[in-house]
């Protein structure tokens, strides 16, 4: 079934896509009439309330609330209300080791397991408002304990399982966690990754209880009979659902706080409208549950929509490059949501996609960073077979859910453009003068009040840091962007990724897009380097699949953008430093160029790449001078 049709340089929904769209044809018009009423109506329609709310939206300065006097329970909405079809699959867990069998938990089995986990937490003394640290890979028990926390009103703080002992320790201490839940090991790239030593180091001289799951028994931990049913704790809509720490290369991590009511509403409706996710359909979000993408679209949104979520333990290219395609085919996945970096990794060995029809797929989504045209087209043609719309979602840990995108039944789907703000959310571009930018004018991306329901409510233990998220009454995303004549937004990257050369502002994303359009190039990262004459010069870090000359790269940039944007320095690298969510860490590259000491590599998928690039810069710099 074809869901898209071509129209010049963009794609539009087909008649069939419009017909099956869960987002009504007039949704944007309805939202524009009154954003507050729009969200209030969605909240009443999509979420089950213990006590219905009467207060829709309130705001004083940067402080705001949604559904303030309402009471609900996030776990109840994700589980209990789905027990009318108890045998429907809720979670499919696929181990990295192909010799292990996949495991499927029905909604009833998940409900029983969550109750048992909630009972265990209560037995350990965990109560409403306590912080629970979860240090686990994407496995069944991770979701079980997240939901168990939501059931009893505890605040979960999931820590990415590849983080160092020190990173875990920092998050435990800042959150004042009462208990740590983890596992002894997991698999990644065919190797056992042991967590027990890191746990011991992280918890030294800290009084904290622990629950350590045996990885061998995953999916079989909670099988007791006659465990008491733990009633869902009535929670105020503005109570904290969870903390999720964000961090860069330096500085103290920020504990981003999300409110239960607003988060539940936006997770539910964004899952339904952005991915056209229907009951009993299957969604695979490849993000680790240690990131916000994994929280929302590997856990809560699919379960809130009574769908099936797929969890995969390791690398989607292990043990063979087509592993991810086999998973899609064997599990009849309808929605595939991943990062552009992962897609480029798949595209490196594109000699297998023609073997897979992937007829179950209807939606392809990307997240984590702007997707370049080359990768967009590869995904559209090779994976979606020209049938499926690509939903390029823009959002952040702070927004909780995707906020800019092209809805499947509405479009348009434009390579390298995210799309329009989600209905009921207002984004704008502010130029250097602090005024609303014109079409095609680059500037700072900001959210206009009324703020979206799942937007950040605070920074744990740091109210002053929370205030810095706002500028003149608007939420400051910290990203640069522009929009076209039809209001479609193109995200250009962090505002500090804008390079100013000889007084001219240049977007790193645009230069990267030009370089990655070369068939020899896999990916590229552009950063600005201080220069005495020009103020800043363009430096390019390029990963290739075939040899290519610096001259060819420079000529392509000049042709696509202009001579002012051409790189002054080009470094050919074997790998670029990235987080597990797929973001290239340009700040690290910039720091290496400037000779800075990189203090924190705990967020990286491939920390070894940093030292290699450091050596390369020292070796190449004399030649470039």
Among 4, 13, 22, which residue's Cα sits nearest to residue 410? Answer: 13
Strand partners, 100: none
Query: In sequence order, what are the residues at sequence separation of 6 or more whose Cβ sits closer than 8 angstroms to the Cβ of residue 8?
Result: none
How many structural domains does the chain have? 2
Question: How much is the average pLDDT of 394-416?
Answer: 96
Residue with the larger pLDDT of the pair 224 and 549? 549
Q: What is the CATH number of the domain that holds 308?
A: 3.40.50.12780
Are residue 302 and residue 160 in the same domain, yes or no?
yes
**Is there a contact between 296 and 494 (Cβ–Cβ < 8 Å)?**
no
Average pLDDT over every residue of 565-576? 92
**Residue 569 pLDDT grade (very low, low, confident, very high; cuts 50, 70, 90):** very high
Whether residue 410 is contained in a domain is answered as yes
Mark whether 484 and 510 lie in a shared domain: no
Q: Has residue 503 got a pLDDT over 70?
A: no
DSSP 8-state symbol, 332: T
Question: Which residues 6+ apart lie within 8 Å of 125 measured at CB?
Answer: 178, 209
Give me the pLDDT at residue 405, please.
97
Residue 340: predicted pLDDT? 85
The predicted-structure confidence for 46-104, as pLDDT tens digits, reads as follows: 999 999 999 999 999 999 999 999 999 999 999 999 999 999 999 999 999 999 999 99
Among candidate residues 447, 462, 490, the one where a domain is terminated: 490
**Confidence at residue 224, expressed as pLDDT on a 0 to 100 scale:** 76
Segment 590-604, tens digit of pLDDT: 889 988 887 767 667
Instruction: Give the pair of three-digit tokens for residue 544.
Output: 């290739």
Segment 477-499 shows an average pLDDT of 85
Residues 576 and 510 both lie in one domain: yes
3-state SS, 259-271, equals EHHHHHHHHHHHH
For residues 377 and 344, is the Cβ–Cβ distance under 8 A?
A: no
Q: Is residue 97 part of a domain?
A: yes
Q: What does the alpha-carbon distance between residue 500 and residue 502 come to, in Å, rounded to a whole number?
A: 7
In a domain, 162, yes or no: yes
Over 50: is that where the pLDDT of 248 sits? Answer: no
Which tokens in the block code for residue 300?
Answer: 């809560």
Q: Is the pLDDT of residue 449 over 90?
A: yes
Question: In terms of domains, do 250 and 169 share one?
Answer: yes
- Based on the fold, state whether residues 10 and 81 are members of the same structural domain: yes
Q: What is the pLDDT of residue 273?
A: 98
The verdict on pTM exceeding 0.75 is yes
Q: What is the pLDDT of residue 495?
A: 67
Q: Is 249 a residue whose pLDDT tops 50?
A: no
Structure confidence at residue 501 (pLDDT): 66
Q: What is the pLDDT of residue 138?
A: 95
The per-residue pLDDT for 343 is 86
User: Does any domain span residue 495?
Assistant: no
Q: Is the pLDDT of residue 250 over 50?
A: no
- 471 and 352 housed in the same domain: yes
- Kindly indicate the confidence band of residue 371, based on its pLDDT and cuts at 50, 70 and 90: confident
Helix (H) or strand (E) holding 346: helix 340-347
Strands 443-448 and 426-430, by their bridges, are antiparallel
Residue 475 lies in a domain: yes
One DSSP character per residue, 591-615 reads: HHHTT------TTBS-THHHHHHHH
**In terms of domains, do 244 and 126 share one?**
yes
Q: Which neighbouring-strand residues pair with 475?
A: 447, 470
Together in a domain, 326 and 244? yes
CA distances from 475 to 426, 451, 455, 456 (A): 11, 8, 9, 10
The answer to whether residues 550 and 602 belong to one domain is yes
Are 259 and 279 part of one and the same domain?
A: yes
* 505 has pLDDT over 70: no
Query: How would DSSP label each residue in 68-107?
Result: TT-EE-HHHHHTGGGTTSTTSEEEEEE-SSTTSPPEEEEH
Instruction: Flag whether 512 is in a domain.
Output: yes
Report residue 548's pLDDT band, with 50, 70 and 90 as the boundaries: very high
Q: Name the strand (E) or helix (H) holding 566.
A: none
- 197-206, 249-258, 601-610, range with the lowest pLDDT: 249-258
485 and 563 both lie in a single domain: no
Q: What is the CATH number of the domain that holds 606?
A: 3.30.300.30
Domain that holds residue 563: 502-624
Q: Using 50, 70 and 90 to split pLDDT, how confident is the model at 535?
A: low
497: in domain:
no
496 in a structural domain:
no
Of 490, 519, 535, the last residue of a domain is: 490
Q: Which of 30-44, 295-309, 379-393, 504-518 bottoms out in mean pLDDT, i.e. has the lowest?
A: 504-518
CA distance 353 to 325: 8
Q: What is the pLDDT of residue 283?
A: 98
Q: How much is the pLDDT for 275?
A: 98
d(CA 76, CA 304): 9
Crossing angle for the helix pair 107-123 and 140-152, to the nearest 10 degrees? 60
| Cα distance between residue 147 and residue 156, in whole Å | 9
Among residues of the chain, what percentage have pLDDT more than 70? Answer: 95
Share of the chain above pLDDT 90, in %: 73
Arithmetic mean of pLDDT, 534-560: 89
Residues 155-212: tens digit of each pLDDT = 999 998 888 888 899 899 999 999 999 999 999 989 999 999 999 999 999 999 999 9
Residues 382 and 527 in one domain: no
Domain stop point among 490, 514, 535: 490
- For the chain, the average pLDDT equals 91
């Amino acid at each position: 079934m074809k869901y898209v049709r071509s129209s010049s340089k963009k794609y539009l929904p087909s008649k069939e896509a419009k017909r099956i769209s869960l987002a009504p044809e007039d949704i944007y018009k309805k939202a524009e009439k009154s954003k507050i009423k729009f969200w209030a109506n969605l909240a009443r329609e999509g979420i089950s309330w213990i006590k219905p709310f009467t207060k829709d939206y309130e705001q004083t300065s940067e402080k705001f609330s949604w559904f303030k006097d309402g009471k609900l329970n996030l776990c109840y909405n994700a589980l209990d209300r789905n027990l009318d079809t108890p045998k429907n699959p809720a979670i499919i867990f696929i181990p990295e080791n192909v010799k292990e069998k996949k495991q499927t938990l029905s909604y009833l089995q998940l409900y029983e397991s969550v109750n048992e986990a909630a009972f265990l937490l209560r037995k350990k003394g965990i109560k409403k408002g306590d912080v629970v640290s979860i240090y686990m890979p994407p496995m069944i028990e991770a979701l079980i304990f997240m939901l168990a926390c939501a059931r009893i009103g505890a605040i979960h703080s999931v820590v990415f399982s590849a983080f160092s002992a020190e990173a875990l320790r920092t998050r435990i201490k800042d959150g004042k966690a009462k208990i740590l839940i983890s596992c002894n090991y997991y698999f990644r790239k065919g190797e056992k990754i042991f967590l027990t030593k890191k746990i011991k180091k992280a918890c030294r001289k800290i009084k904290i209880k622990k629950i350590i799951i045996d990885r061998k028994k995953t999916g079989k931990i909670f099988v007791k009979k006659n465990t008491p049913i733990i009633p869902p704790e009535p929670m105020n809509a503005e109570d904290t659902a969870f903390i999720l720490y964000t961090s860069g290369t330096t500085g103290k991590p920020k504990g981003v706080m999300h409110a239960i009511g607003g988060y539940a509403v936006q997770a539910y409706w964004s899952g339904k409208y952005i991915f056209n996710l229907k009951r009993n359909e299957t969604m695979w979000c490849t993000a680790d549950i240690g990131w916000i993408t994994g929280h929302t679209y590997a856990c809560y949104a699919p379960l809130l929509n009574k769908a099936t979520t797929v969890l995969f333990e390791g690398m989607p290219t292990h043990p063979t490059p087509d592993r991810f395609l086999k998973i899609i085919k064997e599990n009849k996945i309808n929605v595939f949501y991943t990062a552009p970096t992962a897609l480029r990794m798949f595209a490196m060995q594109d000699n297998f996609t023609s073997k897979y029809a992937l007829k179950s797929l209807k939606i392809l989504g990307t997240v984590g960073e702007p997707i370049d045209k080359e990768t967009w087209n590869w995904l559209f043609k090779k994976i979606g077979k020209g049938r499926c719309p690509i939903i390029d979602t823009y959002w952040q840990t702070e927004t909780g859910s995707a906020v800019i995108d092209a809805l499947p039944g509405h479009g348009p789907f434009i390579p390298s453009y995210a799309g329009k703000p989600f209905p009921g959310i207002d984004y704008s571009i502010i130029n250097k003068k602090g005024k609303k930018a014109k079409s095609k004018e680059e500037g700072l991306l900001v959210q206009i009040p009324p703020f979206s329901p799942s937007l950040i409510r605070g920074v744990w233990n740091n109210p002053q840091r929370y205030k810095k998220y706002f500028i003149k009454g608007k939420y400051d995303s910290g990203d640069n962007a522009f929009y076209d004549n039809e209001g479609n937004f193109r995200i250009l990257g962090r505002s500090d990724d804008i390079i100013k050369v000889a007084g001219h502002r240049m977007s790193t994303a645009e230069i990267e897009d030009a370089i990655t359009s070369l068939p020899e190039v896999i990916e590229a990262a552009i950063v600005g380097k201080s220069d005495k004459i020009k103020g800043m010069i363009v430096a390019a870090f390029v990963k290739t699949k075939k040899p290519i000359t610096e001259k060819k790269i420079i000529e392509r940039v000049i042709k696509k953008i202009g001579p002012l944007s051409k790189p002054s320095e080009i470094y050919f690298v074997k790998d670029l430093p990235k987080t597990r969510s797929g973001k290239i860490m340009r700040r690290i590259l910039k720091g290496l160029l400037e000779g800075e000491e990189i203090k924190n590599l705990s967020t990286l998928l491939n920390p070894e790449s940093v030292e290699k690039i450091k050596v390369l810069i020292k070796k190449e710099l004399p030649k470039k001078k």
